[in-house]
Amino acid sequence: MAQRYEFDIAVIGGGPAGYVAAIRASQLGAKTALIEKSHLGGVCTNLGCIPTKALIHAARAMLQAQSARPLGLEAEGLRLDFSRTARHRDQVVARLRSGVESLLKANRVELRRGEASFADDHTLLVKTQGGQGRLCAARILIATGATPAELPEAPFDGERVIDSSAAVSLEELPESLLIVGAGYIGCEFASAFVTFGVKVTIVEALDRVLPLMDEDCAREVFKLLKKQGATVYTSTKIVKVEKQKGRLKAVLSNGKQATVQKMLVSIGRRPCTEGLGLEAVGVRTDAQGAVTVNQHMQSSVPHIYAIGDVNGGTQLAHVASQEGLVAAAHATGALSAKMDWRVVPACAFTFPEIASVGMTEEQAKKQAAEVTVKRFPLRALGKAQVDGAVEGFVKVIADARTGELLGVHIASTEASTLIAEAALALKLEATAEELASTIHAHPTYPESLREACDAAVGLPINWTG
């Protein structure tokens, strides 16, 4: 790369897209800088994936303790000390955040603390508390992420109307909580908080919870939320929100009202592009402010890339990291590097866990002339019976003519782990027969995937359905 630049590559943002891209670029021989205005690890490490899973882990432990009587274990007097739950959450976040900084140092990535914006298409202004500096790079990767979208009827106030970042950082549990939006973020918080004893009400504008995931899987989450005592309203919107003394009253489009201590709004996220100065350097964005990119992750200015949530694509940390790897490879000279979004596993860490990869049943039936859809229920699995985790199933969707797997959808304990094998199978264009003929250890949950594939090829063993 041209020697007139201070760096070969500069990355704006140290989240799962940015820090991964910076490390890979340095590994590939590029002199690399990373600019981060806040905590390393981004929303994922500090306010998203990691701290929410710490809460979910505590909630799962509570559920397991509460259901341990058939095993001969008595859990009388079980109570939650949420201050210790919060301490564990914060300790995990701090360790991982520190780990990111250590990785950057080990890979010779220069870390600049501050807020970056474009001075020109190769120059970044970096604003810090002590002033402002400049940084020039041959290639620039934008990885500034996204921020929660507000509800017009109830803007965030950080105290009673909160976003997911505030919800995961709570030091005390609210007595009651209204969750607006039943996507994976809303349902994960609902699963944790209702288990902790919070009175949870969920409002979703669409006709079901987890509307972007398999409908049968979503139904399993809905059933357990209801069983645990959550109130769930679908096909319902917020009409008006009134602030009362220490509480909120929400008027709903279904004619009902919800009076709660706090309201969590989880209706989506919008890209963080404001203040970057993209217009001045010719980087195009869409109507939502997302940077438009090609499969190499290049923006409309070829030496400027956009990775992760800021490009408006699939807003998942593992997708962001893969986009970072692709961008780093392409920016350092591997011009064939491109992103493949066809096989993207998605997980909801609810009860039960939900995981999906590939086409839904509806999508497959539109694309393939003939489709085979088979389910294997967890209640027919030995390991699930041993663990007392018999709710849920594995569903496989295959092309009926070729046998190629088109999609896998799982509602089960350990679904987030099981989906890895399914993702690999789809990536390799494996058939149901190939997966069914692969020996799986017994007794394990992965056997359920093999059993579902047995059924897909017409040779079920441990299930007659």
Q: How many residues does the chain have?
A: 465
Tokens of 401: 């003519």
Contact 230, 200 (CB under 8 A): yes
The one catalytic residue in 39, 57, 303, 442 is 442
What ranges in 107-205 are assigned the alpha helix state H? 164-168, 184-195
Tokens of 348: 């909801």
DSSP 8-state assignment for residue 456: H
Determine if the peptide bond prior to 443 is cis (ω within 30°): yes
Contact 374, 400 (CB under 8 A): no
Burial class (CB in 10 A: 0-12, 13-18, 19+), 171: exposed
> What amino acid occupies position 29?
G
Is 442 an active-site residue?
yes
Alpha carbon distance 383, 413 (integer Å): 11
Alpha carbon distance 460, 381 (integer Å): 13
Burial class (CB in 10 A: 0-12, 13-18, 19+), 133: middle
Closest CA to 120 of 276, 232, 235, 224: 276
Burial class (CB in 10 A: 0-12, 13-18, 19+), 121: middle
Q: Bridge-partner residues for 363, per DSSP?
A: none
Q: Which residues are catalytic?
A: 442
